Chain A
């Protein structure tokens, strides 16, 4: 076997190993939050009942709202995000992660993991019009300015 064949085999091996490692180590944001934060319960998802809906999972974080949202967003890049005065909301394909202030008298923050519909319903006042249809006072699409960039 010549040195070119050995080099080619080595590249194939690195490529295969890299692909397998990438596929094997990936976890969804829902799985990752369940692994890294303390669960404090679950509840029925907001919005219309339907088959296949996932229960809302609730977790506690010892870090502040913005720090917790940053930690989650750094590890799992959201497709969209909305930051408001009352929380940070991260949108994924099938999940919505809401990082909100803790109950009065507590420190840290709360993390709510909803399915897409549940997250939209729960956070309608904050993400309505940005991530879907909206019948509120500001019209159908909030954040619908001109976008006049070159």
Chain B
């Protein structure tokens, strides 16, 4: 019940926004804040994200304590302080996305960092080991990458033994109309396609080389 009310509140706040800022859709930001709020309740650690960009007036921000579009209280210009609700500490993903202009030679770029007052907090290297790299914030799946990065923070905190894991909850019911789509291509080709290509080229190069030398 509390979870449903929280989700409804977060969605209402998000949908009240008149325009999308940054890369996250308002509904995605609201869901993200809600999942972080549940992690905070479980772990006693507050979570937040703040990703600046050069293409809109407002950055992607949100937190487990204040919801979407609102930074973690006390973190704006005074460094990290410990709100009373964050009994163990704070973890915030910060970053910047720079889109180069269409006519510029420069490439789009992005960087992230993790700010925290926890002992032995998660690092950007931890995110990268999970396949979450800052460069992907300039790609087609920029929003999914940001969601994965922020969602991963409570998992990494638990992995380091700082707080308990957020319990995994398998879906009890799924609407009959919902199902997986976009079946991926062959695993074998994705994993070994490069090697197949390399050895095929080597194999074909032999006869080609011989015929070329005979023709000369």
- A-side residues, CB < 8 A to B, are 4-5, 7-12, 14-16, 18-19, 22, 26, 28-29, 46-47, 64-67, 69-70, 73, 76-88, 91-94, 98, 100-102, 116-117, 119-125, 128, 130-135, 137-139, 142-150
- B-side residues, CB < 8 A to A, are 7, 11, 20, 23-25, 27-28, 30-31, 35-36, 38-39, 55, 99-100, 102, 107-108, 126, 129-132, 138-144, 147-149, 151-156, 158-159, 165-171, 174-175, 177-188, 190-192, 195-196, 198-207, 209-210, 213-214
Q: List 5 A-B contacts (CB under 8 A).
A: A80-B184, A133-B177, A133-B181, A138-B30, A139-B25
CB-based contact A70/B31 at 8 Å: no
CB-based contact A137/B27 at 8 Å: yes
CB-based contact B181/A132 at 8 Å: yes
CB-based contact B168/A142 at 8 Å: no
CB-based contact B142/A15 at 8 Å: no
Contact of B180 among A131, A135, A143 (CB under 8 A): A131
CB-based contact B190/A138 at 8 Å: no
Q: How far is the CA of A5 from the CA of B142 in the complex (A)?
A: 52
Q: Closest chain B residue to A101 by CB distance?
A: B165
Q: How far is the CA of A29 from the CA of B190 in the complex (A)?
A: 12
| Residues on A with beta carbons closer than 8 Å to the beta carbon of B126 | 66
CB-based contact B143/A145 at 8 Å: yes
CB-based contact B28/A86 at 8 Å: no
CB-based contact B31/A142 at 8 Å: yes
CB-based contact B174/A47 at 8 Å: yes
CB-based contact B199/A122 at 8 Å: no
| Residues on A with beta carbons closer than 8 Å to the beta carbon of B140 | 147, 149
Known: A82-B148, A86-B165, A137-B7. A149 touches B138 (CB 8 A): yes
CB-based contact B185/A93 at 8 Å: yes
CB-based contact B27/A4 at 8 Å: no
| Residues on A with beta carbons closer than 8 Å to the beta carbon of B182 | 131-132
| Residues on A with beta carbons closer than 8 Å to the beta carbon of B181 | 131-133
| Residues on A with beta carbons closer than 8 Å to the beta carbon of B129 | 66-67, 70
CB-based contact A93/B187 at 8 Å: yes
CB-based contact A125/B169 at 8 Å: yes
| Residues on B with beta carbons closer than 8 Å to the beta carbon of A100 | 168
CB-based contact A139/B27 at 8 Å: yes
Q: Closest chain A residue to B186 by CB distance?
A: A93
CB-based contact A12/B24 at 8 Å: no
CB-based contact B167/A150 at 8 Å: no
| Residues on A with beta carbons closer than 8 Å to the beta carbon of B200 | 15, 19
Known: A70-B129, A93-B185, A144-B25. A117 touches B180 (CB 8 A): yes
Q: Closest chain A residue to B60 by CB distance?
A: A145
| Residues on A with beta carbons closer than 8 Å to the beta carbon of B170 | 46, 122-123, 125
Q: Closest chain B residue to A143 by CB distance?
A: B144
Contact of B148 among A4, A81, A148 (CB under 8 A): A81
CB-based contact A29/B99 at 8 Å: no
New A-B pairs, 16, CB < 8 Å, besides A147-B23, A150-B100, A150-B138: A4-B209, A8-B209, A22-B196, A65-B165, A66-B159, A73-B131, A79-B187, A81-B131, A86-B168, A122-B170, A125-B171, A145-B23, A146-B23, A147-B140, A148-B142, A150-B102
